[in-house]
């Protein structure tokens, strides 16, 4: 990981055998420039407080800390991790489910959770790498890199590729603004071919993303900008 530390965004790598949550550990450390990774999480979490299933030694559990806070980090992280996974699986179609779940063949291969505490933002990333067995409720919804490719991956390699892409896209955002991020999401986001519902259960169409990172939807011919409201995709009703 020395190569990553030389890039400037990541200045310290912390390896843990076990932790409750890499995000919580990183936020408690309270400084930017950390890459915290662990072989297992005992209390991993996803968006909206959901439990993130964490098997030991088979997957990537990592967090990168940044400052200052930025509400568009979830989208930036999503397009960065999607690009990283695509580079590892060059013959696969890798997509982003709003705002930043990474999906292959309709199944989730990666989840991202951004949390802020004071001036520090923690970008937590969990990637299903070599896992092949899932709890019953996840069997039809989760997939791993190994299941897609039929080969084992190095956890270190996957971590490094993800960190490199995250560093690259953060620098793109800081030097060129949100425009390239928006273009990338519109190219690879799952915005067409699915029934989309707003938080009131009304079917809608995603039209665009604003420069502030908010979805623009059409509901019965009326254009709305969603700031904090969720949307759901019809194939799982669980975004």
- pLDDT by residue for the chain (239 residues), tens only, comes to 554 554 568 999 999 999 999 999 999 999 999 999 999 988 766 554 455 556 777 899 999 999 999 999 999 999 999 999 999 998 899 999 888 899 998 899 999 999 999 999 999 999 999 998 887 777 788 999 999 999 999 999 999 999 999 999 999 999 999 999 999 998 998 766 556 777 778 788 888 889 999 888 888 888 888 876 677 765 444 43
User: Residue 91 in contact with residue 176, Cβ under 8 Å?
Assistant: no
Question: What pTM did the predictor assign?
Answer: 0.87
Distance from C-alpha of 230 to C-alpha of 239, rounded to nearest angstrom = 7
Count of CB atoms situated within 10 Å of the CB of 235 = 13
Cα dihedral across residues 84, 237, 64, 70: positive or negative: positive
**CATH 3.30.930.10 boundaries in the chain:** 2-187
Model pLDDT, residue 154: 96
Question: Which of the four CATH numbers 2.60.40, 2.30.30, 1.10.10, 3.30.70 does domain 192-233 have?
Answer: 2.30.30
Model pLDDT, residue 122: 97
Number of helices (H), then strands (E), in the chain: 6, 12
DSSP structure class, residue 190: -
Model pLDDT, residue 37: 95
The residues, any chain, with a CB within 8 Å of residue 195's CB and separated by 6 or more, are 203, 233, 234, 235
**CATH 2.30.30 boundaries in the chain:** 192-233
Model pLDDT, residue 233: 63
User: Residue 172 in contact with residue 70, Cβ under 8 Å?
Assistant: no
Q: What is the dihedral of CA 73, 76, 77, 78, to 10 degrees?
A: 120
Collapse the DSSP code of 161 into the 3-class scheme (helix H, G, I; strand E, B; otherwise coil) and give the result.
Answer: helix
The class that CATH gives domain 2-187 is alpha beta
């Amino acid at each position: 990981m020395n190569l990553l530390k030389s890039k400037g965004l990541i200045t310290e790598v912390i390896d843990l055998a076990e932790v409750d949550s890499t995000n919580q550990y990183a936020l408690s450390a309270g400084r930017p420039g950390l890459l915290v990774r662990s072989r297992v999480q005992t209390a991993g979490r996803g968006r909206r407080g959901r439990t993130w299933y964490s098997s030991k030694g088979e997957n990537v559990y990592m967090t990168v800390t940044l400052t200052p806070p930025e509400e568009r980090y979830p989208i930036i992280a999503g397009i960065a991790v999607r690009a990283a996974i695509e580079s590892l699986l060059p013959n696969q179609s890798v997509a982003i489910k709003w705002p930043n779940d990474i999906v292959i063949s309709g199944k989730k291969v990666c989840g991202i959770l951004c949390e802020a505490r004071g001036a520090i933002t923690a970008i937590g990333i969990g990637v299903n790498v070599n896992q092949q067995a899932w709890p019953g409720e996840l069997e039809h919804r989760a997939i791993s890199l190994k299941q897609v490719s039929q080969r084992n991956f190095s956890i270190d390699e996957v971590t490094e590729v993800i960190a490199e892409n995250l560093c690259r896209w953060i620098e793109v955002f800081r030097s060129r603004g949100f425009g390239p991020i928006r273009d990338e999401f519109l190219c690879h986001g799952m915005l067409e071919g699915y029934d989309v519902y707003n938080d009131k259960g009304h079917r809608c169409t995603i039209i665009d993303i604003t420069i502030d990172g908010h979805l623009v939807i059409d509901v019965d011919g009326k254009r709305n900008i969603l700031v904090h409201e969720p949307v759901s995709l019809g194939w799982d009703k669980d975004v």
